[in-house]
Amino acid sequence: MRKLLGLILLTALLAVSCALINPSSSSQTPASSQSTAMAELHKDDVPIASPAAKDVAPDAVTTEDVTYGTPDGLPFQGYLAKPAGAEAPLPGLIVIQEWWGLNDNIRTMTRRLAAEGYAALAVDLYDGQIAETPDEARTLVQAAIQDSERLTQNVVAAHAYLTDQQQTPQVGSIGWCFGGTWSLNTALALPADLDAAVIYYGGQIATDPTVLEPLQMPIQGHFGSLDTNPSPETVQAFETALNELDKNAEIYMYEGANHAFANPSGTRYNPEAAELAWQRTVAFLNQHLQGND
């Protein structure tokens, strides 16, 4: 029944995700403008982690590259991490990349999440490509946005892989930047099946109550007060819409923090805000995916 419902919801959501990613109204921007906005925010960045980056001990988790779907003969391949020695089925996490791609930084975050007790699957929205410069990232993210149907198929396939192949009893999503947008889009694609969603400064955040109304999972969001994509005003509209819909939502604004404040490989890394956001993220996921209050 869950699979059937998922297929029905996926069909309906393809139109919704296209509207979110390639909106037609004057208040929203097409794919090229979105990629330009992201490029401006990351123009001085390089995807190389600073010494502030944290990782887990090598023997704390097990990792492997996996194929989690093959639509139209084109495989979805990602990075799966689980706690070492784990035997019972674990709650699952769909981990969604920043605009750089599934790089070492995202793999590190995936291992950190796995060490907290999850089967963490980092999806690859660029089909194996990784950006080394902002110009490369802009090209990759624009191409991905223009094929939003495949992106939706990707995250839905990841959910199916975790529930069917990994036997995860609950599944959440988490993403940063471009991945923050797609953590929300994953929730919109699976409004009755996803069990929690965490959003870190996703640029395109839906604020229309009619779009957000189907969501049934708890949502947590982390945003910087200095960010322009999304702006504090957009974040406030997002939070207001969720509250008016009586959704279970925790939205945090970090004063003095900018876009990508939690990324140790970026120029806007804010260690204090990043650490607080991480503590809140772990507590939120533990509560809603592991049942730990």
Of 91-95, 105-109, 192-196, 238-242, the one with minimum mean pLDDT is: 105-109
User: CB–CB of 235/221 below 8 Å?
Assistant: yes
The predicted model scores a pTM of 0.88
Q: b or e along 50-69 (b: 16 or more beta carbons within 10 Å of the residue's beta carbon)?
A: eeebeebeeeebebeebebb
Which residues sit opposite 78 in a β-bridge?
Answer: 66
User: CB–CB of 250/280 below 8 Å?
Assistant: yes
- The pLDDT score that the predictor gives to residue 7 is 41
pLDDT tens by residue, 274-291 = 999 999 999 999 999 998
Comparing 21 with 236, the larger pLDDT belongs to 236
What is the domain range of residue 150?
A: 2-289
User: How far are the Cα atoms of 77, 128, 147, 267, 274 from residue 263, in angstroms, in the given order?
Assistant: 23, 21, 26, 8, 8
Which percentage of the chain shows pLDDT scores above 90?
74
pLDDT tens by residue, 151-199 = 999 999 999 999 999 999 999 999 999 999 999 999 999 999 999 999 9
Tokens of 86: 């784990």
Average pLDDT for residues 79-86, to the nearest whole number? Answer: 96
Domain CATH code at residue 54: 3.40.50.1820
In the chain, count of helices (H) and strands (E)?
A: 9, 8
- Cα–Cα distance between 162 and 166 in angstroms, integer? 5
For residue 170, the Cα-to-chain-centroid distance in whole angstroms is 16
Residue 49: pLDDT band with limits 50, 70, 90: low
- The pLDDT score that the predictor gives to residue 108 is 93
Query: Under 8 Å CB-to-CB from 9, ≥6 apart: which residues?
Result: 189, 190, 191, 192, 193
Count the domains in the chain. Answer: 1
